[in-house]
Amino acid sequence: MNKLKDIFIKIPRLISAFSIILNPKTWRVFTHVSEVSRFDAQFLISWSQGGEDLALLQVLGNSVGKYIDVGAHHPTRFSITRHLYQNGWNGVNVEANSALIPKFNRERNKDINLWSAVGSEPSYALSIFEEPAISTIEKTWEKRFLSEKHKLIRQEEVPGITLRKILDEYFQDIRCNLLNIDIEGADLNALKTIGFQNLAKTRFPDWILVESTPPVSSSLELESVNYLVQNGYIPFLVLPRATLLKNTIETTI
């Protein structure tokens, strides 16, 4: 009886899977997954660049909460939050490249999707590269990417917004459980716009993920990490491309 029940549960999932495979748009991805996995064992899928999304699933477990994703880039490609969104989370995506906002509006309709650059200035000049994931408002990073032969496509003026404004407008009565910041060298400036000094402790995000690079010692010495430590956070995980910090003052997850 249990085996029969199991078969009936699996049939709709198989039908759904086959209907996806029949779509020619999925063939390239399906071929890649097939070649890598050979479908000979269960495996985990990561959409982020360094497995940060899988690490978050381990830390956050089966909880459902709210996030702010600064430098969200794309609803799927290099996404920290797609797994969370599919697990029932939602929140605010902030992306400075205006060309990417329509994708968020289509694929993340339970989220609030903002075209803005996070910082203290009213506007910023965004340098957009052929590889959109490295687009930046930081001139030193722009020069670095140009020296690495990345192609600059265009520049656009982007409205600025502070993290405090986002918290005040969208998280007045609810907690931000995860704040992710990945904005190519501007993480510290963005963090400072929270205004920890005059923000109620109960409104501090539970977890904050900031960009970092190996080795571990370098990650822990970053200004953005030290700034968070000074404001009550402790480094919880050091990942290949990011450091996750936990709020020690008060947490809900």
Shared-domain flag, residues 191 and 233: yes
Shared-domain flag, residues 6 and 98: no
Query: What pLDDT, in 10s, does the model give residues 196-250?
Result: 999 999 999 999 999 998 899 999 999 999 999 999 999 999 999 999 999 998 6
Shared-domain flag, residues 178 and 111: yes
Predicted local confidence at residue 46, as pLDDT: 87
Q: Encode 142-171: b = buried (16+ Cβ within 10 Å), e = exposed.
A: beebeeeebeeeeeeebebbbbbebbeebb
Structural domain of residue 9, as residue ranges? 2-37
Shared-domain flag, residues 6 and 117: no
Shared-domain flag, residues 199 and 236: yes
Confidence bin at 32 (pLDDT 50/70/90): low
Predicted local confidence at residue 237, as pLDDT: 96
pTM of the full structure: 0.86
Confidence bin at 133 (pLDDT 50/70/90): confident
Output Rg (C-alpha) for the chain, integer angstroms. 20
Average pLDDT, the chain: 89
